[in-house]
Structure 1
Amino acid sequence: MNLPLETDVLVIGAGPAGLAAATILARTARVLVVEREAVAGGIPRHCGHYPFGIREFHRLMKGPDYARALVKRAQEAGVQIANGVNVVRLEPGPRVTVTCDAGVSEIRARFVLLSTGVRESSRAQRLIGGEKPGGILPTGALQGLVYLEGKRPFRRPVILGTELVSFSAIMTCRHAGIEPVAMIEPNPQTTARWPAALFPRLNGIALHLSTSIRSIEGRERVERIVIDGPSGTRSIETDGVIISGKFRPEAALLDGSHLAKDAATGGPVIDSVGRCSDPAYFAAGNLLRPVETAGWSWAEGIAVAKSIRAALAGSLGQDTTHPVTLTGDALAWVMPQRVAEADERAHTCLQLRVNRPAKGRIVARAGGAEYASQKIDSRPERRITLPLPPRGAPVEIMLEEQ
Structure 2
Amino acid sequence: MTPVLPAQADVIIIGAGPAGLSAAATLAKLGVEHVVVLDREAEAGGVPRHCSHSPYGLREFRRLMNGPRYAKALVRRAISAGATIYTGVNVTRLRPGPTLDVTSHAGPSTLNARAVLLATGARETTRAERLIGGTKPQGVMSTGALQLILEAGQKPFQRPVILGTELVAFSALMSCRLAGIRPVAMIEPGRQVTARWPTALFPRAQGIRLLTNTNISHVDGLDHVTAVHLTTGERLQADGLIVTGRFQPDTPLLAGSEIQRDPGTGGPEIDQYGRCTLAGYFAAGNLLRAVETAGWSWSEGRSVARAIHSHLAGELPSEMGERIVLSGPISAHVPQRVAPALKSRPKLGLEALQLRVGQPVDGRLNLLAKGAVVASKHLRTRPERRILLPLPGYGTEPHVQLRVKGDP
Aligned pair partner of 1:195 in 189, 195, 198: 198
Question: Is 1:393 the equivalent of 2:396?
Answer: yes
Question: Is 1:117 the equivalent of 2:121?
Answer: yes
Instruction: Tell me the distance in 1 between the aligned counterparts of 2:141 and 2:380.
Output: 32
Partner residue in 2 for 1:72: 76
Residues 29-87 of structure 1: CA deviation (Å, up to 9, x unaligned): 21000000000000100111111001111111101000000000111111110000000
Residues 5-25 of structure 1: CA deviation (Å, up to 9, x unaligned): 100000000000000001111
The Cα shift of 1:331 comes to 1.2
On the 8 A contact 2:271/2:320 being kept in 1, the answer is: no
The Cα shift of 1:177 comes to 0.4
Question: After the TM superposition, which residues 176-325 of structure 1 pair with which residues of structure 2 at under 5 Å, given as runs?
Answer: 176-229=179-232, 233-325=233-325
Residues 347-396 of structure 1: CA deviation (Å, up to 9, x unaligned): 11111111111110011112222111111111111111111013443311
Q: Match of 2:338, SS?
A: strand
On the 8 A contact 1:326/1:333 being kept in 2, the answer is: no
Instruction: Tell me the distance in 2 between the aligned counterparts of 1:272 and 1:92.
Output: 21
Instruction: Tell me the distance in 2 between the aligned counterparts of 1:341 and 1:260.
Output: 20
Q: Match of 2:225, SS?
A: coil
Instruction: Tell me the distance in 2 between the aligned counterparts of 1:9 and 1:246.
Output: 31
Partner residue in 2 for 1:331: 330
Instruction: Tell me the distance in 1 between the aligned counterparts of 2:377 and 2:131.
Output: 36
The Cα shift of 1:316 comes to 1.9
Q: Match of 2:196, SS?
A: coil
Partner residue in 1 for 2:90: 86
The one-letter amino acid of 2:39's match is: E
Partner residue in 2 for 1:59: 63
Structure 1: 5+ residue stretches without partners: none
Structure 2: 5+ residue stretches without partners: none
Partner residue in 2 for 1:352: 355
Partner residue in 1 for 2:5: 3
Q: Match of 1:25, SS?
A: helix
Instruction: Tell me the distance in 1 between the aligned counterparts of 2:378 and 2:161.
Output: 36
The one-letter amino acid of 1:149's match is: A
On the 8 A contact 2:124/2:245 being kept in 1, the answer is: yes
Instruction: Tell me the distance in 2 between the aligned counterparts of 1:222 and 1:55.
Output: 40
On the 8 A contact 1:366/1:395 being kept in 2, the answer is: yes
Partner residue in 1 for 2:178: 175
On the 8 A contact 2:260/2:268 being kept in 1, the answer is: yes
The one-letter amino acid of 2:220's match is: E
The one-letter amino acid of 1:52's match is: Y
Cα distance change of structure 1 residues 252 and 323 upon mapping to structure 2, 3 Å threshold: same
The one-letter amino acid of 2:9's match is: T
Q: TM-score, normalised on structure 1?
A: 0.97
Instruction: Tell me the distance in 2 between the aligned counterparts of 1:347 and 1:367.
Output: 22
Partner residue in 1 for 2:18: 16
Residues 176-227 of structure 1: CA deviation (Å, up to 9, x unaligned): 1000000000011100122211111011110111001010111010000110
The one-letter amino acid of 1:15's match is: G
Residues 278-316 of structure 1: CA deviation (Å, up to 9, x unaligned): 230000000000110000000000000000000111112
Aligned pair partner of 1:40 in 36, 41, 44: 44
Instruction: Tell me the distance in 1 between the aligned counterparts of 2:313 and 2:395.
Output: 22
The one-letter amino acid of 1:131's match is: T
Percent pairwise identity: 54
Instruction: Tell me the distance in 1 between the aligned counterparts of 2:360 and 2:247.
Output: 18
Aligned length: 397
On the 8 A contact 2:320/2:337 being kept in 1, the answer is: no
The Cα shift of 1:342 comes to 3.0
Moved over 6 A (4+): none
Q: Match of 1:26, SS?
A: helix
Residues 79-131 of structure 1: CA deviation (Å, up to 9, x unaligned): 11000000000010000000001110000000000000000000011111111
On the 8 A contact 2:340/2:393 being kept in 1, the answer is: no
Q: TM-score, normalised on structure 2?
A: 0.96
Instruction: Tell me the distance in 2 between the aligned counterparts of 1:18 and 1:358.
Output: 33
Q: Match of 1:396, SS?
A: strand
Instruction: Tell me the distance in 1 between the aligned counterparts of 2:154 and 2:217.
Output: 28
Question: Is 1:102 the equivalent of 2:101?
Answer: no
Instruction: Tell me the distance in 1 between the aligned counterparts of 2:215 and 2:199.
Output: 20
Instruction: Tell me the distance in 1 between the aligned counterparts of 2:390 and 2:207.
Output: 42
The Cα shift of 1:164 comes to 0.6
Segment of structure 1 superposing worse, 346-355 or 310-319: 310-319
Partner residue in 1 for 2:381: 378
On the 8 A contact 1:53/1:60 being kept in 2, the answer is: yes
The one-letter amino acid of 2:118's match is: L
The one-letter amino acid of 1:322's match is: E
Question: Is 1:366 the equivalent of 2:369?
Answer: yes
On the 8 A contact 1:273/1:342 being kept in 2, the answer is: no
Instruction: Tell me the distance in 2 between the aligned counterparts of 1:318 and 1:392.
Output: 14
On the 8 A contact 2:249/2:290 being kept in 1, the answer is: yes
Partner residue in 2 for 1:135: 139
Instruction: Give the alignment's Cα RMSD to 1 decimal.
Output: 1.0
The one-letter amino acid of 2:363's match is: G
The one-letter amino acid of 1:261's match is: R
